[in-house]
Amino acid sequence: MATYRSVDELQHLGDFHDVYVRRAAWQGNNLVCSIYSWIVPSENSQNSHSTAMFVNEAEVVFAHCRIVHIKHLGMQEFCDNIVTTVQPHILKLNEYARFAAEDMSDCPIEHVANYTQMLDGNYTATVHFCFHEVELIFSKVTVSWDTYAGKYINGCIIRDIPYSEEDTTWLSEKS
């Protein structure tokens, strides 16, 4: 059981910019994402500190989740002096499961937008993953984590846990 559990607080889950999804998988009707390199703002109910805090790893569960649509935002790939352009397009329904299982893992969450509670009590949110915009509807979102790894002040992580050359999961930016 996790030490900290934040329920239905996406508005207080901080800026998901540069959060990385290590693994995304469907467990029944739940979309479960293991994330790392996350900043918990001081407004979150589970943060008793006066400042934002850094978390190495957390688990996000979108309960009774369904994907409304997935839009590829378009991109250019450069490989061996060849440029390939992928035009923006909406993924087909039969591509959703593969996207959630493959494309969401090892991918940064660029941001979460349009988090709102609908009249039926469910929530909707638009999540931006690696050139994709994913609109989700879910009944509840829970984020769980065990420890804080340090403070986040003025864009810098001040670690409480000593740095280890073998452990690079604490990095908040990828080179």
User: For a pLDDT cut of 70, what percent of the chain falls above it?
Assistant: 85
CA neighbor of 67 nearest in space, from 124, 25, 141:
124
- As a whole number, mean pLDDT of residues 64-83 equals 88
State the pTM of this model: 0.78
DSSP structural state of residue 16: -
CA neighbor of 125 nearest in space, from 13, 2, 29, 24:
13
pLDDT value of position 30: 93
> Ranked by mean pLDDT, which of 7-11, 22-26, 142-146 comes out on top?
142-146
- As a whole number, mean pLDDT of residues 11-30 equals 75
Rounded to the nearest 10°, the torsion over CA 57, 48, 7, 174 is: -30
Tens digit of pLDDT for each residue in 149-165? 888 887 777 876 555 54
